[in-house]
Amino acid sequence: MAWLKYHVGNFAQSKSYCQRVEDILVKCPTGSSGSLLPEVYGEQAWTYLKLSKSYYLKAVESFRKALEIQTDDIESNAGYAIALFRTEEWVLENLEENEEPPSIKQLHSALELNPDDAVLQSMLAVKLAAYKKYEEAEGLLKKALKTDPDNPHVSRYVGKYFRNHHQLDESIDMLERALKRATQSSFIHHQLALCYMRKKIAEQSRKPFSSQREVRYWRRRCIRELEMAVKIKPTFHLAWADLALLYAEERNFRRAEEIFQQCLLKLPEYDESLSQAIHQRYGDFHYHHKRNEAQAIVHYTKGLLIPLKKYEKKVCAKKLKKIAEKRLSRNPGDGEALALLGQVARAEGNRKEAAEFYEKGLNCDKDNEEYLSALCELRLDLH
């Protein structure tokens, strides 16, 4: 304000603002130009957290800096727990098997300072259940619902807990209640769509007969919620991709293709997790709906080669194996199919098996430089 008033010629007010700045610096010295007050780090962190997913790691760092200065601050501890919860997919890659993620420890710490925070209770319940600590998780859910049953954030995490444990009716009930109080939440619309999608899949898998009428009913409800999610948040790429697959189920291939192309065009380069999910779904579109095996292989391979060990990576690996094995059943000398199995084995960390597949592929296609290069690299690694 001092700068602004100076440049519009209001020197008296500019001087007044400068004096207020001086008073603040005397009252709250920062120590050095490179460090900020904990309150400033905290505000910075909350801003990053609210901007978009791409700023979540910056939020984690800002909350950490705030807590280094003011360890027992309730708000910063809660924010740090939420930021860690949201960035878990980037952290899990570096954890040992069965090692608890940092978010669980931080959620416990935040709840020690504020035991009645129902949102943190419900978030911790979701995390604990993922590590099969069901008794503690369910205790926290009961506390959260007793403490703040009308909080839409509590409802959405409780709904997510039920969905993760195949209690779809309970999850739908919680999310629909939450949506009445937070109609403009793209997250809740998306979570509700995922529940309806599971209902649809359950109908499709019924044997000996599935009710096409019921399948269509759940698919339409799912489409409606996803359309609301992307209307509220146009940058919700994952919801767009899920919506595209549902349009494809309804034989609207043109619209589905348009959406996938837009997703790929606007996909943030730094977001490997999102990129992996989009390529997996685009591969499904080509494989299941367009019957374009070559394009399916292209996108499954792109998803496979992203180093994140997520569910989508497993799906890409499974589909590529299925394609390769089907081709080999028709032609045992299909070098490309053998190399595909080698690529999957390599991505899964099975170097010896990968080398064997590439060697077989070279026997079928002796002059293939790509197979030879991969085989040489694998043999050097094994050596």
Number of structural domains found in the chain: 3
- In sequence order, the 6+-apart residues with CB closer than 8 A to the CB of 14 are 2, 3, 5, 6
Question: Which tokens is 269 given?
Answer: 């380069």
Find the domain containing 142 and state its range. 125-233
Listed residue (223, 149, 236, 150) closest to 192, CA to CA: 223
Examine residue 116 and state whether it is found in any structural domain, yes or no: no
CA distance 317 to 312: 9
Say whether both 145 and 219 belong to one domain.
yes
3-class SS of residue 224 = helix
Examine residue 47 and state whether it is found in any structural domain, yes or no: no
The structure tokens 């899990």 sit at 92
Residue 272's CATH number: 1.25.40.10
Examine residue 15 and state whether it is found in any structural domain, yes or no: no
Is there a contact between 193 and 229 (Cβ–Cβ < 8 Å)? yes
Q: What is the pLDDT along the chain (383 residues), one digit of tens a residue?
A: 999 999 999 999 999 999 998 888 887 666 555 566 788 889 999 999 888 777 888 999 999 999 998 899 999 999 999 999 988 765 554 455 566 789 999 999 999 999 999 999 999 999 998 888 889 998 998 999 888 888 888 888 888 888 888 888 888 888 888 888 888 889 889 999 999 999 998 888 876 666 788 899 999 999 999 999 999 999 899 999 999 999 999 999 999 999 999 999 887 766 788 899 999 999 999 999 999 999 999 999 999 998 877 788 999 999 999 999 999 999 998 889 999 999 999 888 888 888 888 888 888 878 888 888 888 888 888 78
Residue that finishes a domain, picked among 294, 310, 330: 330
